[in-house]
Amino acid sequence: MSESAGNSLSIMERGEVPASAEQKSEKVVEVQASDQDDSGAGEDHTVGMQRSNTRSSALMRRIEKLRFQVLIGRFRDQEQECPEPTSFENAVEHALWHMREKVRMRGKPLPGYPEMAIFLGSDERLMMCRRFATIQARLLLEKQAEMRELEEKLEAFDRDDFNKNEIGRDVDPTRPARLTSRYRRDEKERDARQAFFDRLETKFLEYEKLVSAVNRMMSLEKPASYERKNVKQFAEERKPLVTEELEWIMDDQYTQDIVTLRGARLNGYLVARFETFVNKLVSALKSSGGNMRDWIERNSQAGKLASQVGMGILILLVPIMFVVPVYILSLYGENTGKSIGILIAFALAFAGLLAGGTPAKPHEVLNGSAAYLAVLVVFFGSVGSNRN
């Protein structure tokens, strides 16, 4: 032990290191160098990650900003060219461009039936459809024939009951019990009779429902010519549907089969013609450029303007139709023939005003004209008495 310790001490004093110790020290140095390399690579990786995160966060902020701009409609009316996706940023711009286009197109209806439905639903005067009068008549004939068959069967059952005699019940042969009472001894016969009447009731309710539906359809008014022309003009200009599915409004053979779903007309013929004139005038002064919404708004404004002007004209004509004839009668009241001619002329003018300026029915026009003529006669009589 002392010799080995002395040898090792002498070796250490001379500065000599064993081979195994030298190898261990070299490994330690290599490990430390590798640790330093790894730490440097880690620092580079961390810096790269930070740069990537910064770049991604900036890009996300840009995306959110553009998305917000899209949502508030800043790009809705702007026409921009689609960028080519040559890089990641351009790819994002490409996607956002399509997003902007979708938002910008939201103000316009989808083509086809959505566009046609939006147009017809924009104004009650445009809500019209076919009533299919021929099909209604055919269905009525079919249901009527079914009811006739059931009626014949019921009559045959009653005749059979009249010819059958029940012992103990039929006291009077002319008044059999099977017809004066619903009671049946045979349970099968009673069930069959009840089933027949149930079927008869079902068929009658179907017939009544069909008759009521036809009655409601036939009571609908026909659209005014200008209303139908508005829909036809839209179909010709926009062509929202295929030709076959626009025949109901484009083909004149269906004119008598089209009904309007709006309420009773509030304007007469003269107001309707004035509305058509205003619509054409506005169309000539301001083109819609194929924009359906502008066309609808323009047509609606023309209708409102025509209604207001028509109502104003009627209000102004009411006092005129009373004051002017009274004044003329005061001048020519001594001549009976001229007075009668004046009364007839103004009565006809008043009837024409009611017929053309209001949606009055013929009997309403007649009643109104008679009342107006009676008022003029009273005024004429009062003027004559004052002269005397």
pLDDT of residue 147: 95
pLDDT at 363 over 60: yes
Query: What pLDDT is stored for residue 386 in this prediction?
Result: 58
Contact 76, 107 (CB under 8 A): yes
pLDDT the model gives residue 353: 83
Mean pLDDT of 128-154: 94
Long-range own/partner contacts, residues 331-340 (CB < 8 A, 24 or more apart): 333/380, 333/383, 333/384, 333/387, 334/387, 339/380
What mean pLDDT is predicted for residues 181-196? 76
Q: Is the pLDDT of residue 107 over 60?
A: no
Q: Rounded mean pLDDT of 49-69?
A: 58
pTM summary value: 0.53
- pLDDT-derived band of residue 198, with 50, 70 and 90 as boundaries? very high
Residue with tokens 């042969």: 173
Average pLDDT score, the chain:
71
Q: What is the mean pLDDT of residues 287-311?
A: 59
Of the candidate ranges 245-249, 316-320, 357-361, the one whose mean pLDDT is the lowest: 357-361
How far is residue 299's CA from residue 303's CA, in Å, rounded to a whole number? 6
Q: Measure the CA–CA gap between 287 and 283, rounded to whole angstroms.
A: 6
Dihedrals φ, ψ of 51, to 5°? -65, -40
Question: What is the rounded CA–CA span in Å between residue 349 and residue 369?
Answer: 9
Answer yes or no: are the C-beta atoms of 115 and 240 closer than 8 Å. Answer: yes
